[in-house]
Amino acid sequence: MSRYGRLTPSLALLPFLGYLVVFLLIPTITVVVGAFQEDGAFSFVNIEALFSDTALRALWKSVLLSGSTAVVGAVLGALLSYLVVTSPPTSVLRRAVTSVCSVLAQFGGVTLAFAFIAALGFSGVITEALRSSVGLDIYGSWLFGVPGLILVYTYFQIPLMVIVFLPALEGLRPQWREAAVSIGATTWQYWTQIAIPMLRPAFLGAMLLLFANAFAAYATAAALVSQGNPILPLLIRSALTSEIVLGRHNLAFALAFEMIIVVAVVMTAYALVVRRTSRWLR
């Protein structure tokens, strides 16, 4: 077959590739190029602005929020996965938990912010119940700042952990435990010397995924936070909508570029860890 004849089938992929170039790659490249420009000329001022107090504080709060909810979400999610995996695969509990988790992990956003305002807001259900029963008023501005975000993000991080970590736990074969017990291992030894070392890469990988998930999340924070722009996604919003923040036109690009870098580093680490995991757990 001629060279032309071999290439013809590939041409049918052009519409797909063209579409992704226009609606995914060009926006991404715009961000990267825009981060190094100001008023149409090459410049480092926007990158320098990333190291201003405001931008660094937002980055730090974002890392704090993503890190803490990744750790809490991973630990609690792993615990919930274990509780679920010890029941038979066909049980109602297992089906219910996996279905509910798949909904909650993907469908957060504005809804979650309102759910927590309905529960813990000024006239929220829990707030009023505690106020009338024990006279304790838990309402405060904490709900609309980083502490509130940590609580609300945990609500979607735990389900995501269950979805990601459950297959790894299912891969832990009962035969390994039987083998360990038959040569005299105690339950403690089985967990510390076999199960935990085997699950560690899967656990760490899932934690990285949770971190990236929280770091890039926007909707919940946008709907919940009432004052200021404590975290990176909200700083991007204000840079995008008010045009000039910190006196820079292209700051939104630089902040978005910063987000790409962080998420890309975390996701690459995730891919490397997962490659190691898949060697063991099939």
Window 31-60: residues binding other proteins (CB under 8 A): 31, 34
Of the two residues 24 and 56, which places its CB atom closer to other proteins in the complex?
24
For residue 267, state whether it binds other proteins (rule: CB under 8 A): yes
Q: Which is nearer to other proteins, 135 or 174 (CB)?
A: 174
235 contacts 58 by C-beta, under 8 angstroms:
yes
- Under the binding rule (CB under 8 A), the answer on residue 24 touching other proteins is yes
Token output for 37? 């420009």
Q: Is 253 in the site for other proteins (CB under 8 A)?
A: yes
* Beta carbon of residue 191, minimum distance to other proteins (angstroms, whole number): 11
Binding residue (CB under 8 A) for other proteins from 198, 208, 259, 274: 259
Instruction: Please say which residue, 131 or 177, places its beta carbon nearer to other proteins.
Output: 177
CB of 80 to other proteins, least distance (A): 6
Q: Which span sits near other proteins by CB under 8 A: 37-45, 120-128, 131-139, 192-200?
A: 120-128
Question: Per rule CB under 8 A, is residue 99 in the interface with other proteins?
Answer: yes
Provide the CA 200 distance to its chain's centre, in angstroms.
19
Give the whole-angstrom CA distance, residue 276 versus residue 282.
12
Among residues 237, 240, 234, 218, which one has the least CA distance to residue 113? 218
Max distance between CA atoms of the chain, in angstroms, equals: 84
Quick check: 107 binds other proteins (CB under 8 A)?
yes
Residue 83 lies near other proteins (rule: CB under 8 A): yes
What tokens were used for 93?
């509990």
- CA distance linking residue 50 with residue 59, whole number of Å: 9
Q: Interface with other proteins by CB under 8 A: which range of 37-45, 63-71, 255-263, 273-281?
A: 255-263
Show contacts with other proteins in window 192-221 (CB under 8 A). Answer: 212, 216, 218-219
* Interacting span for other proteins (CB under 8 A) from 20-28, 43-51, 66-74, 198-206: 20-28
CA count, 13 A, side-chain hemisphere, 254: 25
- Whether the CB-CB separation of 149 and 221 falls below 8 Å is answered with yes
Q: What are phi and psi of 43, to 5 degrees?
A: -165, 150
Do 235 and 54 form a contact (C-beta atoms < 8 A)?
Answer: yes
Q: Is 241 helix (H, G, I), strand (E, B) or coil?
A: helix
Choosing from 69, 73, 124, 214, the residue that interacts with other proteins (CB under 8 A) is 124
102 binds other proteins, rule: CB under 8 A: yes
Site for other proteins contains 86 (CB under 8 A): yes
Does position 252 interact with other proteins (CB under 8 A)? The reply is yes
Quote the CA–CA distance of 232 and 262 in Å, as a whole number: 11
| SS3 of 74-109 | HHHHHHHHHHHHCCCCCCHHHHHHHHHHHHHHHCCH
Window 154-173: residues binding other proteins (CB under 8 A)? 155, 158
Residue 282 to residue 278: CA distance in whole angstroms: 6
Least distance from C-beta 257 to other proteins, angstroms?
A: 8
Residue 31: CB minimum distance to other proteins, A:
4
Closest distance to other proteins from the beta carbon of 225 (Å): 12
Opening angle at CA 270, ends 160 and 56, nearest 5: 90
Count of residues that interact with other proteins, criterion CB under 8 A: 73
